[in-house]
Amino acid sequence: MIVRPRRLRTTPALRRLVAETRIHPAQLVLPVFVADGLDAPRPISSLPGVVQHTVDSLVAEARRAVEAGLGGIMLFGVPLDADKDAVGSVGSAPDGILNRGLAAVADAVGDDIVVMADTCLDEFTDHGHCGVLDGRGRVDNDATNERYVELAVSQARAGAHLVGPSGMMDGQVAAIRDGLDAAGFSDTGILAYSAKYASAFYGPFREAVNSALSGDRRTYQQDPANRREGVREADLDELEGADLLMVKPAGYYLDVLADVAARSSVPVAAYQVSGEYAMVCAAAERGWINRDAALAESVTAILRAGADIVLTYAALELADAANGARR
């Protein structure tokens, strides 16, 4: 027997030497939540280790992300329930919680990490949908795009380097690009949530943002049964001027991710969503799996499928592990 592939698996050093895919901190983005009305960070029960931040604790977390060498930090705002309305007005308000958080992070670490903003309305509307509702209670695509432009411009003004339209409205990228350019923010990039599916794995996120959603989002988010549609959506976003594309969720849509990555001429991100992360944590708490190993394997699979960037709630611990392995 001449060919023995096992020769390259005999020691940790050999396996490390020939590894085809590696987790590097610069590829990782940490999603964070900043909430109004808090005196101290508030744990999110369904997302172990994740909290709703105050502005001060958010800045401290951003500094930690910089120290770990993370590539980016993605901010989500959690307003007071009393500030929510039908069009999510507080989302674009200069003194709204998300824009205050963006400004604080950009001021503290804006030169050292990519500051990203979720550009959507679901956290800010009293009905919990990602857009403006019409008279029949359906999301109005074009009216919603007008609000997305207002959100994006306010986020760019607050200091975001990338805005992240995640509502899956037709034409949202083109509308935002035009709006940013007209407002003088031609250097602000767009991370488009291009293939975002109506997934069952968003549950913990709904707790994290105190979602008021009634019903579901299947009329605008993609059907989990469809693979080609994800590629079509990504192609359209790239044509409309997206600077990066995203597939969400990541782990259960590796086929879509691989398809998009194979044809995209811009960087591709993937979001390991709250339910994916929470399931690993829950199984590990019961002693069924090894938390660290499972999180590392799951993110490695996302990178192996073609992602250039991974958003994950485990970003800091994965970065710490990667940094420790290199020392």
What is the spatial distance between Cα 111 and Cα 238, in angstroms, rounded to a whole number? 27
Residue 91 is which amino acid? G
Active-site hit among 248, 259, 295, 311 = 248
Question: What would you report as the CA-atom Rg of the chain, rounded to the nearest whole angstrom?
Answer: 20
What is the spatial distance between Cα 80 and Cα 35, in angstroms, rounded to a whole number? 8
Catalytic, 196? Answer yes
What is the spatial distance between Cα 167 and Cα 233, in angstroms, rounded to a whole number? 13
What is the spatial distance between Cα 46 and Cα 152, in angstroms, rounded to a whole number? 29
Helices (H), 32-140: 55-68, 89-92, 97-109
Contacts of residue 151, Cβ cutoff 8 Å, sequence gap at least 6 = 88, 91, 92, 119, 120, 121, 163
User: Cis omega before residue 249 (within 30°)?
Assistant: yes
Nearest to 249 by CA among 316, 201, 315: 201
Residue 270 is which amino acid? A
What is the spatial distance between Cα 258 and Cα 207, in angstroms, rounded to a whole number? 30
Segment holding 77, helix H or strand E: strand 72-78
Structure tokens at 159: 């200091």
What is the spatial distance between Cα 316 and Cα 13, in angstroms, rounded to a whole number? 24
Catalytic, 248? Answer yes
Segment holding 162, helix H or strand E: strand 162-165
What's the chain's length in residues? Answer: 327
Active-site hit among 196, 208, 221, 278 = 196
Catalytic residue numbers, as ranges: 196, 248
